[in-house]
């Protein structure tokens, strides 16, 4: 009985190994059937000017996606369970209809006013509704409150109704090993939230 079991086990192992070898051979054959010229052609097509950079949600992006889907169908690649090569979802975006105007006033009465150019010198944010505010400008460095790292730009500063002026980035040096701990404080959404929690009426950065 043991001899029969061992014999059958040997057959199954042989079949499994043989099957694996067949699969690996087919994969290798498929890989080697793809030429570098074909890959270059695909990359050239998708990076061509007619797709205008394939901005998410743009007509050109959808056109490029359809080109890829057509290739999948040509290669007999089956679509997902939905029966489609596409999965649609909402994608939030910002569209500037009017740039507005930003004028930097020098000393009162000096005539040293400067109108900033869009988008080279200013860009309106998309994190709040439109509105008009007036307030004192207060510089708060990086706008970060990180007590566990011994840092708080708002310490001793009353921001109620005032406009925050801050820098992007983080207060760390190249030799700082705590970069990973600083990283969450670099995100714009954190800095906006932190300014709001400190009573700021607006933010410039």
Cβ–Cβ < 8 Å for 165, 204: yes
* 70 belongs to a structural domain: no
Sequence-separated (6 or more) residues with CB below 8 Å from residue 103: 113, 114, 115, 116
Looking at residue 185, the DSSP 8-state letter turns out to be G
CB atoms inside a 10 Å sphere around CB 140: 25
| H helix or E strand, kind and range, residue 24 | helix 2-33
* 45 belongs to a structural domain: no
Shortest CA distance to 122 belongs to which of 102, 98, 95, 106? Answer: 102
* 122 belongs to a structural domain: no
Q: Count of domains in the chain?
A: 1
Reported as a single tens digit per residue, the pLDDT across 144-195 is 999 998 999 999 999 999 999 999 888 876 666 777 888 899 998 899 999 9
CATH number, residue 182: 3.50.30.30
Distances from the Cα of 24 to the Cαs of 27, 31, 70, in angstroms? 5, 11, 27
Q: Which domain, by its residues, includes 139?
A: 127-204
**Percent of the residues in the chain that have a pLDDT greater than 90, as a whole number:** 38
Angle between helices 36-46 and 59-74 (to 10 degrees): 150
Reported as a single tens digit per residue, the pLDDT across 107-144 is 666 667 888 888 888 777 777 767 778 888 899 999 99
Reported as a single tens digit per residue, the pLDDT across 68-122 is 999 999 989 899 888 899 988 887 777 777 777 777 776 666 667 888 888 888 7
């Amino acid at each position: 009985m043991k001899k029969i079991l061992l014999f059958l086990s040997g057959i199954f192992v042989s079949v499994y190994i043989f099957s694996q070898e067949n699969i690996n051979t087919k994969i290798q054959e498929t890989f080697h059937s793809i030429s570098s010229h074909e890959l270059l052609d695909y990359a050239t097509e998708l990076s061509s000017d007619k797709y205008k950079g394939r901005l998410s949600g743009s007509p050109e992006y959808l056109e490029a996606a359809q080109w890829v889907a057509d290739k999948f169908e040509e290669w007999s690649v089956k679509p997902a369970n939905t029966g489609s090569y596409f999965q649609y979802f909402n994608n939030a975006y910002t569209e500037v209809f009017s740039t507005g105007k930003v004028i930097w006033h020098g000393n009162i009465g000096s005539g040293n006013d400067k109108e900033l150019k869009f988008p080279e010198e200013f860009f309106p944010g998309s994190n709040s509704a439109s509105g008009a505010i007036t307030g004192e400008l207060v510089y708060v460095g990086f706008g970060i409150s990180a007590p566990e790292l011994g840092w708080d730009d708002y310490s001793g500063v009353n921001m109620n109704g005032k406009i925050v002026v801050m820098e992007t980035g983080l207060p760390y040096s190249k030799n700082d090993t705590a970069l990973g701990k600083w990283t969450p404080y670099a995100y714009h959404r954190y800095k906006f939230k932190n300014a709001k929690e400190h009573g700021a009426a607006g933010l410039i950065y």
